[in-house]
Each structure stands twice: as C-alpha cells, then as structure tokens.
Amino acid sequence: MQQHSFDVIVVGGGGAGLRAAIAAASADDSLQVAMLSKVYPMRSHTVAAEGGAAAVTRDDDSYAAHFEDTVAGGDWLAEQGVVDYFVRHAHAELVQMERWGCPWSRRPDGHVQVRRFGGMKTERTWFAADKTGFHMLHTLYQTSLKYPNIQRFDEYFVLDLITDESGIGGVIALQISTGELHVLYANAVIMATGGAGRVFRFNTNGGIVTGDGMAIAYRHGVALRDMEFVQYHPTGLPGSGILITEASRGEGGVLLNKDHYRYLQDYDLGPETPLGEPKNKYMELGPRDKLSQAFWHEQQQGRTGKHGESDVVYLDLRHLGAEFLHERLPFICELAKAYVNVDPVKEPIPIRPAVHYTMGGIMTDSQCETSIGGLYAVGECASVGLHGANRLGSNSLSELLVFGRLAGEKAARRARAFANKQHHNLLQARSKAILATWEDKIAGLMDTSTRDPKSRSWAELKQALVTTMETGCGIYRQESALQETLETIRALKADYQDVRIEDQSGVYNTDLLHCIELEFSLDVAEAICLAALERRESRGAHQRLEPELTQRNDREFLKHSLVSWENERAVLRWQDVDTSLSAPGERAYGDQRKTRQADNGGAA
Amino acid sequence: MNVQTRAIEVTRYSPERDKEPYLQRYDVPFDESTSILDALNYIKEHIDATLSYRWSCRMAICGSCGVMVNGIPKLGCKDFLRLYDHTPETPIRIEPLAHFSVERDLIVNMDEFLTHLEAVKPYIIGDNVDTASLPAEASLQSPAQLSRYQQFANCINCGLCYAACPQFGLNPEFVGPGAIALAHRYNLDSRDHGKTERMPLLNSKNGVWSCTFVGFCSDVCPKGVDPAAAVNQGKVDSAKSMLIQLFKGSQLQGEHQ
C-alpha cells in the first residue's frame, strides 16, 4: 500500500474533472492537485459529445431567454438560482475555451458560429463541427499539461472515500496496472466521474459510464437526487446505440416514420416546418424527452420501420447536400457509413431512442459541495440542480465548464483553509480500516475455492440488470413493471454476494474492475428505480402510463427526489424546489406555445 | 437458425505467469455488424473473463481500442469481422499494438506515446491568458485560418501511427507521427506564438528528421489525419528554423569579431 498527500484530489479526468483541476491549480500554484481516473483523460466520455455547448451569444438573445428555456425544458424541476448563475457564466467559459485553443467553428468574419438546438428559442450553441466534446476534452487535457502542480494518476480506479468528523479526508484507489491499493489524503475532493447510462441495455454511452462516483458518495450517506430522470436521446443508431447528434436536426434534418411522414406534427410540436427551414422549438427542434416519447407512440401504433431486430424511424439529411454535410456533420457521415452502412447524402439514417444522460446525481448545493464538508461533485455525476426533469441539449458541455471551475475554486479555498489541520492519526486509522475491508473484499472475489456452483458471473448479472432496467425504467413506466424491476435489482444485489472472478492476477485485472463497477451500477440502478416508482406523476423524462398519472402534479410532486443509503437500505425523501424566479407554468412547443401564451395573456 | 462463427487468435500474456506471449484461439459468433471489439467483448463476457484489453466509446472517438489485426494497426471498434476471409483454417489474428511494450494481453504501455505528446507543448503559448480572471472576448479566426490546422486537431491519440512507424520501432525516442502532428497543429494555429519553443525538439535528432517518409502512419490513421504531411511540413519548418539559427549564429559571430 502506498500513501500520498495532496491539497486537492479530483476523481475523474473528463471535461468536468479537467476544468476543476485547472481551476484549483491556477487558483494557487502552491496547491498540489491530484487527478485520478480509471482511464487516460482523453478516453473519458466527454469525448463522445457531438453537438455543442450553449451560451447566450447573439445580440438578440438574453440571459432571461436561456433561463426560461432551461427551466421550462426541465419542467420546472431545476434549481432556479443555479440556472441563473449558469446562464450568466456560460459565455465567459466558452470564451476561455476559445483562448485555450478550442477549434470552434467560425463565421466568415472570424467570429464564433452558433447553431440551433432542441428546446432553445435562439441560436446559442457553440460547436466544433460535430465533435465538440472531443475538441473540448482534448483542449482541456492539453491545456492541463501547462500546470506542473497537477499530478495525474491515469488508470487509477477510485474505490472509496475516507472521511472524519470535519468532512472529507481522502480516497482509496486501485492502481489498475499493478493491482496495488493506494491511499491519497486531501482536505478537498471533487467527484467528476460522469453518468450511469451503462445501467441500461441500449445506450449511447461508453463502457466506462457505470455510475462509480455516484455509488461511492451514496454509500457514504450523500443523497442521490432526481435519479428517476434518465434522458433518452431520440437519435441513436440501431444495434449499437451510437449517438447521432441533435445538431443533425439543428442544421435542418427531419424525422420520418416508415411511411415517410414527419410524425412529430402529431405530438404537439407542429405545424410541419418546410424542408430546409428549421424553426426553433418546432418539430425536430422540440426537446429530447418529447421526441423520444413520440417515437414510443409511433412504435405502439406500428408506424416504425425495421433495421435488423430494431424498430426504427429515419433521420433524413439528404436535402442538406454533400458539401454542407461534410462541413457541418462529418462525424455523423463517418458513423452512419461505418456502423449502419448508410451514406446520409443519399439515404435517411435509421435511428431509435437510446439512454443518453442521467439528469440526477450526487446532490450538491449551488456551490457544488455535498453534505460531506470538502467533498464536491460536478458534471454528469452531480445534481447541482441545472437540468430538472429533462436536460436541454448543449447545456451539459457548458455545465461542466461553469461548475467545473466553481468546484475547483471552492476546493482550492477549502484546501487552503484546512491546510494546517492535524488529522492524520484519526484518518490513518479510518483509512486502514477501509483499506482492510477492500483487501478482504477483493480476496473474497478472487477466492474461487468458495464458489457456489450455482453462482453467476458478473457478466450474467450485468446482462440481467441492463435488461430489467430497460423493461421497468424505459421511456414510459408503470407501477407493476417498476415494482418488478426493483425486486429484480434487489435479487441481483443478493446474487452479487456469491460472485467470484476468474482472473487471479494483479496486472490489468479487468475481470476484477468490471466486477466492482457492477456493484456500483447496482446501487445506482436501485436508486433510479425506487425514485421512478415513488414519483407517481409524469414530468419531463419521467412518464407514467397509468391514466391517473399521465399529467404533471405540482401539488404533490413539485419536489426533488432524494435517495439515501441508511441502515443498509435505500430510503426515499422529497426536497422542495427553488422556484423563486419563475412560477411553474405549462411546457409548450410548436404552435401550442402561441396558444398558451394567448391564454395566459402573453405572460409565458 | 445457424449462427455463423469465426475463429480468432488473440495474444495472451501475463507478466506474472508467462515468459512469452502466446496466441489463444476462440470461436465467436458474428454477423454483418460485428466489430473486432464486439468479438473481444463476446470472449470476455461469454468465453474467457481473463482476457484484458482497453475500450470505451465503441464509436471511434476515444482512441482506447487500438490493436493489430492481421498485422495492421486498427481501432477494434471500427474494423469488422465481415471484412476478413472466412475459413476455419485462417483465424483473424489480434495482437497488441506493435512497437509498444506489452503490459498484459492486448494492453500496451501508452505512456511511451504520451510522454512524446506531452513534450511538444501541445497548448496555446503566448496568448497571455490569465485563468484567474476569464478573458472577456474570443479571438477572431477566419474559416481559412481554422482550416490550416483543423485536420491535425482531429488526432484521437490512439497510437496506431506509432504502431505503423518503422522508425519508432527502431528508436523509441523518436517523437513520432502523432506528437509531431499535434505540435504542427499548434504551430499552424493563428492564436499561437509558441513555435520557437517547440522547434528545438522537432529539430533534434529524435524530431522530424528521424522520419524516413514511409507514410504508413497516414494510411492507418482512423480519423483521416495526415501525420506524414505534418512531419514533412515540419521538416520545411525545421530547415527554415535551422537556417535562421545558422544565420543568427554567424551574425552573432560577426558582431563579436
């Protein structure tokens, strides 16, 4: 066992983790910052974000407009003070990225170009072709190299936290290349471990997106907030789930059912907009939850086509022309060709909804701090309260910058304030105990002599988990299926106790790694399912099928769900929502907006 | 229904157990869409949990899953079983990336590449960005200025070009195609003023002049980056900067005489 001491520890090397590490390191160059990630930073899933990052940019845009879009897009479950802070700081962060070298797409006059995005009333999404996340991640990783006080621990898998009465004290990590356990002490720790999309079978996420950080914080008593809100992206490739960016629709792509009909006009998103004239908040530029729900209805009514085993609809980009597609959507052309053998210049792309994003996460206050002093969380693993019940596309890349910097600065301040804290005796005792637990646990997993012949492998349990999550916690949900899924998850957790792994080695034991990831995923899945079961209303990405539950019910459920781990079980509570700036109104898109505004005397 | 299977040979090596790497054969089911990575994941989850390899995004953007397939560097997620002849006697051979040290099975030591990448100072230099206070305005960059460096910014750091480069195979100190392409990306960026800081390394014996212009690096790049072009444009820059140094040097000498 090796021990290390730092001022700030960042767990996760994606966009949020890198931004936080740079903020902490540049706040004070005497602070020593450690960044641990289970993969090299540029492998993190930020890399797969395509469409862009939102910020109020044009003269005809306003903070109030971005605020309204985000709050209404989240069906009034966002923390409004947090949204207000976000919209005011997003632009400066994107400018900072520009100055760090991010290759933003440009207008002929050299200014940064903005594109349309779903649910946004104005063009405000900055983009780098259709590889925005990739370029942001590489720009952040490369920029981080300038800071000698950031020390990276690549391919270190964080397993646990060390805490004492005054808050966080450090982390325990497994060095994947050797199998050795490390103790790293710090008075400030930032969780930036990404989402949990891989708890579902069909998803757009990389294999690493298993909810580790959420489960680690949860096991230390931090609540997971709003976990029932899981975003289905309307356009994933059939079979693989590979993401086809919303920018395809922002640039003018349209969705067709098997009869070549633009079906979105039947779901309160119309009237149909002319081909080549996309209109903000209409049709294909409605929000993701509504579009995925429309697919489900088309599927129920037999109006979807087939691609292999998958029911699909079609994304038609042909009218945009080869030159435009190769300039604005080159990656989409490459992906469609490689993975479904379709040239979007000539044929519509078959697509279907796929799990994409966890709106909920580790509960933090507006300053990114959790209920454990000095423990921060940021990015997709966190719930700072920005997205509410449904995230608008292009808000999350801006989120990880705005709140990554905030978390980094807060952590730096905490580290300085606690610099002289004498804690090592108690913490060392604590860390020794936690370390021993993990050593026992790993030895137990490897001890095949005690294997129950009936026990299943982690791979079999994982298959069962992702299948039941899709059945119970899909685009539409109902009591009986949710109940069944919750029972299945709990049975899988029990079965997990008998799992053994084959691989006995220390070096790059990915059998062990995936086995531990599954345990984290099981905790996160239980929280998602429990919250989905208890939220007996329909709001944003959470839709219930029971006739009496198909509407939003503010009287009972204008509340965040909080799932906590207490006395070895998941417990659900409710928390009030900050609606101080905008009273809950009706969410409307397409021409419905006009009607509603007229009904409300133009107040919406 | 008959499920087609395909024979695959995979390099196995555990430093704790094996003196030498060896090949292990597996039969995996496949259809038109099965990638090399899908086949490895099938082996891991259904046949042999002890096989180790890196992967994540499975959409050719994270750069984790580079391997040799029948001797050619490939991204496992962007190469497909259907592209290879199907006879039981000729298994598809999957090996770790060439020219890197093998840590375990298909996992190589990526630090051997990242050390070079980090050495070329791949970030904007001389823009005087002060991170304590955010800059108020974005700089201007025309689409033409963007397109000068854009393709070199598309490198995903997968390392395939290093596995393709005979010079890197002979001399691990060679900065190599990917890192030189990245240095070139920043040298060409209208916002950057760091070229003079990057040139000494590119001018050195392990810099651009180590390249013998085989060009295989560009052939294997899964993202259409042309590192060979970067290296050879780098040679022009390097020759210029060396001439300037020479000129300055003789001027300096002249001043002293």
Q: Is the pTM of this model over 0.95?
A: yes
Interface test with B, best of A145, A402, A462 (most B CBs within 10 A): A145
**Chain B closest-CA separation from residue A538 CA (Å):** 32
What's the confidence (pLDDT) of residue B26?
97
For residues B157 and A287, give the distance between their C-alpha atoms in angstroms, rounded to a whole number.
34
Q: With helix as H, strand as E and coil as C, how does A79-103 read?
A: CHHHHHHHHHHHHHHHHHHHHCCCC
**Cα torsion A291, A297, A303, A308: sign:** positive
In a domain, A291, yes or no: yes
B52 neighbourhood in chain A, CB within 8 Å: 503, 508-511
Nearest beta carbon to residue A508 from set B17, B107, B118: B107
**Chain A closest-CA separation from residue B249 CA (Å):** 31
Partners of A81 in beta bridges? none
- Tokens 């998103």 found at: A269
Interface size A-B, in CB pairs within 8 Å, comes to 173
Nearest beta carbon to residue B134 from set A95, A146, A338: A95
**Chain B closest-CA separation from residue A410 CA (Å):** 13
Superfamily of domain B111-256: Alpha-helical ferredoxin (1.10.1060.10)
A27 neighbourhood in chain B, CB within 8 Å: 132
- Nearest residue on chain B to A501, alpha-carbon basis: B49
Task: Please judge whether A108 and B61 are an interchain contact, meaning their C-beta atoms are less than 8 angstroms apart.
Answer: no
Cβ count near A417 (within 10 Å): 12
CATH number reported for the structural domain that contains residue A266 in this entry:
3.90.700.10
Task: Please judge whether B153 and A135 are an interchain contact, meaning their C-beta atoms are less than 8 angstroms apart.
Answer: yes
**Chain B closest-CA separation from residue A206 CA (Å):** 4
Number of domains in chain A: 1
B122 neighbourhood in chain A, CB within 8 Å: 142, 145
| Residue A356 contacts residue A204 (beta carbons within 8 Å) | yes
B11 neighbourhood in chain A, CB within 8 Å: none
For the segment A488-542, what is each residue's pLDDT rounded down to a tens digit?
A: 999 999 999 999 999 999 999 999 999 999 999 999 999 999 999 999 999 999 9
Task: Please judge whether B59 and A243 are an interchain contact, meaning their C-beta atoms are less than 8 angstroms apart.
Answer: yes
- Tokens 């902490």 found at: A24
Task: Please judge whether B57 and A43 are an interchain contact, meaning their C-beta atoms are less than 8 angstroms apart.
Answer: yes
A208 neighbourhood in chain B, CB within 8 Å: 56
**Chain A closest-CA separation from residue B30 CA (Å):** 13
What's the confidence (pLDDT) of residue B128?
63
For residues B138 and B150, give the distance between their C-alpha atoms in angstroms, rounded to a whole number.
18
This complex has an ipTM of 0.96
The domain in which residue A305 lies consists of 239-356
Nearest beta carbon to residue B123 from set A131, A146, A335: A146
Q: What is the DSSP letter of A420?
A: T
Nearest-10 Cα torsion for A128, A133, A135, A138: 170
What's the confidence (pLDDT) of residue B257?
40
In a domain, A437, yes or no: no
In a domain, A274, yes or no: yes
In a domain, A94, yes or no: no
**Catalytic machinery residues of A:** 233, 249
| Residue A90 contacts residue A401 (beta carbons within 8 Å) | yes
**Chain B closest-CA separation from residue A407 CA (Å):** 14
Each domain of chain B, given as residue ranges in start order, spans: 5-108, 111-256
What's the confidence (pLDDT) of residue A600?
59
Interface test with B, best of A28, A29, A42 (most B CBs within 10 A): A42
What's the confidence (pLDDT) of residue A603?
41
For the segment A318-342, what is each residue's pLDDT rounded down to a tens digit?
A: 999 999 999 999 999 999 999 999 9
Nearest beta carbon to residue A110 from set B114, B142, B157: B142
- pLDDT per residue, tens digit, chain B (257 aa), is 567 899 999 999 999 999 999 999 999 999 999 999 999 999 999 999 999 999 999 999 999 999 999 999 999 999 999 999 877 788 999 999 999 999 999 999 999 999 999 999 999 998 765 555 677 789 999 999 999 999 999 999 999 999 999 999 999 999 999 999 999 999 999 999 999 999 999 999 999 999 988 899 999 999 999 999 999 998 988 888 888 877 776 655 544 44
Nearest beta carbon to residue B58 from set A134, A206, A508: A206
Positions of chain A with pLDDT lower than 50, given as ranges: 601-604
For the segment B40-70, what is each residue's pLDDT rounded down to a tens digit?
A: 999 999 999 999 999 999 999 999 999 999 9
In a domain, A466, yes or no: no
Helix or strand (DSSP H, E) at A183: strand A180-185
CB-based burial label for A263 (10 Å; 0-12, 13-18, 19+): buried
Interface test with B, best of A18, A97, A104, A106 (most B CBs within 10 A): A106
B145 neighbourhood in chain A, CB within 8 Å: 110
Tell me whether the omega of the peptide bond preceding residue B122 falls within 30 degrees of 0, making it cis.
no
Could you say which of 1.10.443.10, 3.90.1710.10, 3.10.20.30, 3.30.70.120 is the CATH number of the domain covering B5-108? 3.10.20.30
For residues A582 and A562, give the distance between their C-alpha atoms in angstroms, rounded to a whole number.
23
Nearest beta carbon to residue B49 from set A98, A135, A501: A501
- Nearest residue on chain B to A307, alpha-carbon basis: B33
Closest alpha carbon to A39 in B55, B144, B31: B55
In a domain, A485, yes or no: no
